[in-house]
């Protein structure tokens, strides 16, 4: 007897689950606001960010020159600096004051100063200095200036050394200038590009933020349309916690399975970003990320009372969340408090794991910490979602009962007066 009851209950639950799933699916696609967040933003934002950072690196940073040496050596030095891809000499100034004035007028972002005794010192075998003055409004200007000048000075140092040594063979020259050679290998982002470093993190973050916004918006709408400003409608299908949470979750998941395919696979291809991850590592990793994000968004949506407030509450978090993930500001230098704070958000693990799999070709076992953390988050946020929805069901029942009692009382009063 009891067994049949349980079986019936499960059958009913599954039935309701799909009813809720269908209904949520329909509201998603009939609500323009949700569609903006679920479709339009994930579609457009990656393209916009890709467009902003598409040049990857800063080339030809304009710089001024003050050449007090006026010798063939100093001119050779400057010619070589100008020939590097990083720096472009825009003006030869007669003194530092003129160069500083140009800096103020934003004609250039740096000054290369060559002292009067530059080539004399080289000829006399005394160390000489080239001074760089860089505008610090952007660190990339400084980096370009430094890279170009370092490269040129090392190159010229080598030539000067060879000249002084008077070796007889080329091999001798090589060995005496660099008794120990070195090479640098820039891994996983060989061009040192800005897009290749930032865009993957932005892509993952977009998934979480649009889910927060979309789910929050539909929760706010549900409340506004509800008589008692409750999240859960009065409907016989909305009887159990599990069926609501799973039904809604399933419908979001289906939308986001498609959206994340576009965001995580198509967009990097469009902008020729790094994409060396294996699909059988990437897909199993994205699965818990989406689950964690969906349940996180559903839990957070409880705070949303009105349709539009989700934007006010969630949009600004994108900037701190990007920084706390440890992509731009190195994770190793994030203070302990913020590190633990960042574990609240699926994006922290999502970004780190995705960047390592997609950009660095890591396998699932290499990102096992993030992978496990995401499953754990998915579990925890599933429970919190169930808990808040349970609470909401109770609240909405309470409101109905109160209303019922109120009406009944009225009825009794009217009966008596009659």
Partner 1 sequence: MEERENKYTALWLVMKRECRRLVSRPLYLFCMVIAPLFCYIFFTTLMGAGLPTDLPVGAVDLDNSATSRQLLRNLDAFSQTGIVANYNSVSEARSAMQKGEIYGFFYIPTGLSSKAQSQRQPKLSFYTNNSYLIAGSLLFKDMKMMGELASGAASRSVLYAKGATEEQAMAFLQPIVIDTHPINNPWLNYSVYLCNTLVPGVLMLMIFMITVYSIGVEIKDRTAREWLRMGHNSIYISLAGKLLPHTVIFFIMGIFYNVYLYGYLHFPCNSGIIPMILATLLLVLASQCCGVIMIGTFPSLRLGLSFASLWGVISFSISGFSFPVMAMHPVLQGLSNLFPLRHYFLIYVDQALNGYSMAYSWSNYMALLIFMMLPFAVVHRLKEALIYYKYMP
Residues 43-102 within binding reach of partner 1 (CB under 8 A): 48-49, 51-55, 57-59, 61-62, 77
Laid out side by side, the sheet with 110-114 consists of: 87-93, 61-67, 110-114
User: Tokens for 384?
Assistant: 């919190």
Other CB atoms closer than 10 Å to residue 374's CB: what's the count? 25
By CB under 8 A, name the one of 324, 374, 378, 388 that touches partner 1: 324
Q: Is 217 exposed, middle or buried (0-12, 13-18, 19+ CB in 10 A)?
A: buried
Residues 266 to 285 in contact with partner 1, rule: CB under 8 A: 274
- Which residue from 162, 167, 82, 65 is spatially nearest to 118, judged by alpha carbons? 65
Q: Which is nearer to partner 1, 146 or 395 (CB)?
A: 146
CB closer to partner 1 out of 36 and 380: 36
Place of tokens 């574990």: 343
Q: How far is the CB of 407 from partner 1 (least distance, A)?
A: 28
Q: Which of 80, 161, 237, 390 binds partner 1 (CB under 8 A)?
A: 161
- Asked if 359 touches partner 1 (CB under 8 A), the answer is yes
Q: Total binding residues for partner 1 by CB under 8 A?
A: 109
- Taking CB under 8 A as the criterion, which residues in 163-182 touch partner 1? 164, 174-176, 178-182
Which residue has tokens 């972002």?
Answer: 109
Q: Which residue has the tokens 């993190």?
A: 201
Q: Which among 186-194, 290-298, 380-388, 407-415 is the span making contact with partner 1, rule CB under 8 A?
A: 186-194
Identified binder of partner 1 from the candidate list 7, 15, 97, 192, rule CB under 8 A: 192
Question: DSSP per residue over 243-267, as a string?
Answer: HHHHHHHHHHHHHHHHHHHIIIIIH
Instruction: For residue 385, give every residue at least 6 positions away whose Cβ sits within 8 Å of its Cβ, in sequence order, or none.
Output: 245, 249, 295, 298, 299
Binding string, residues 366-405; x marks residues near partner 1 by CB under 8 A = xx--------------------------------------
**Cβ proximity of 238 and 244 under 8 Å:** yes
Q: Using CB under 8 A, which of the segments 20-28, 147-155, 264-272, 407-415 binds partner 1?
A: 147-155
Nearest CB to partner 1, comparing residues 188 and 391: 188
| Sites for partner 1 among residues 399-418 (CB under 8 A) | none
289's tokens: 């990320």
Q: Rounded to whole angstroms, how far apart are CA atoms 194 and 90?
A: 25
Among 12, 76, 98, 135, binds partner 1 (CB under 8 A): 135
Q: Verify binding: residue 316, partner 1, rule CB under 8 A.
A: yes
| Shorter beta-carbon distance to partner 1: residue 116 or 175 | 175
Task: Give the integer Cα–Cα distance in Å for 199 and 52.
Answer: 10
């Amino acid at each position: 007897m009891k067994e049949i009851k349980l079986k019936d209950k499960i059958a009913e639950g599954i039935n309701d689950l799909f009813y809720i799933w269908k209904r949520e699916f329909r509201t998603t696609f009939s609500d323009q606001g949700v569609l903006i967040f679920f479709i339009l933003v994930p579609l457009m934002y990656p393209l916009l960010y890709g467009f902003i950072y598409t040049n990857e690196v800063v080339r030809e940073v304009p710089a001024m020159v003050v050449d007090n040496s006026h010798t063939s050596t100093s001119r050779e030095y400057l010619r070589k600096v100008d020939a590097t891809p990083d720096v472009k000499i825009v003006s030869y100034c007669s003194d530092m004051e003129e160069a500083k004035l140009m800096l103020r007028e934003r004609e250039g972002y740096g000054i290369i100063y060559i002292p009067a005794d530059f080539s004399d010192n080289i000829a006399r075998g005394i160390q000489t200095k080239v001074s760089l003055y860089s505008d610090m409004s952007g660190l990339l200007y400084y980096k370009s200036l430094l890279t170009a000048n370092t490269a040129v000075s090392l190159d010229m140092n080598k030539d000067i050394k060879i000249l002084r040594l008077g070796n007889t063979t080329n091999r001798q020259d090589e060995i005496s200038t660099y008794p120990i050679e070195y090479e640098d290998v820039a891994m996983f982002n060989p061009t040192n590009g800005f897009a290749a470093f930032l865009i993957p993190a932005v892509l993952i973050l977009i998934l979480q933020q649009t889910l927060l916004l979309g789910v929050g918006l539909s929760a706010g709408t549900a409340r506004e349309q509800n008589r008692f400003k409750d999240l859960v409608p009065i409907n016989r299908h909305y009887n159990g916690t599990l069926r609501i949470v799973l039904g809604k979750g399933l419908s979001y998941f289906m939308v986001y399975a498609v959206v994340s395919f576009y965001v995580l696979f198509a967009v990097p291809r469009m902008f020729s970003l790094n994409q060396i991850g294996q699909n059988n590592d990437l897909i199993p990793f994205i699965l818990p990320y989406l689950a964690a994000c969906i349940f996180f968004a559903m839990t957070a949506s409880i705070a949303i009372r009105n349709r539009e407030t989700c934007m006010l509450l969630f949009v600004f978090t994108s900037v701190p969340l990007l920084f706390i993930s440890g992509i731009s500001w190195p994770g190793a230098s994030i203070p302990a408090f913020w590190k633990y704070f960042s574990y609240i958000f699926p994006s922290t693990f999502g970004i780190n794991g995705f960047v390592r799999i997609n950009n660095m070709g890591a396998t699932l076992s290499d990102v096992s910490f993030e992978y496990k953390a995401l499953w754990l988050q998915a579990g925890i946020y599933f429970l919190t979602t169930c808990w808040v929805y349970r609470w909401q069901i109770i609240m909405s029942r309470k409101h109905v009962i109160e209303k019922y009692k109120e009406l009944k009382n009225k009825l009794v009063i009217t009966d008596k007066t009659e």
